[in-house]
Amino acid sequence: MTGKAGLGAIGALALSGCINVAAPEEPIVIELNINIRQEVIYRLAEDAANTIDENADIF
């Protein structure tokens, strides 16, 4: 059994060919668009609600 497995592996290597791995010529660019506006508005809304609750007589 071992001989057949070895022959199969050698045959697979002979048929697999050559694999070339090369770095790209141009740099890889990763663009990240992060939207933090929603979080800021949420925090401001929470602060405003707390201010209104603390000063109910003014509003």
Domain map (residue ranges) of the chain: 31-59
Residue that is written with structure tokens 């790209």 in the block: 24
By the 10 Å C-beta count (0-12 exposed, 13-18 middle, 19+ buried), 33 is classed as exposed
Q: Is 59 helix (H, G, I), strand (E, B) or coil?
A: coil
Euclidean distance between CA atoms 49 and 59, whole angstroms: 11
pLDDT at 3: 55
Residue type, 29: V
Q: According to the model, what pLDDT value does residue 17 have?
A: 66
Which residue type occupies 53?
D
Low-confidence spans in the chain with pLDDT less than 50: 1
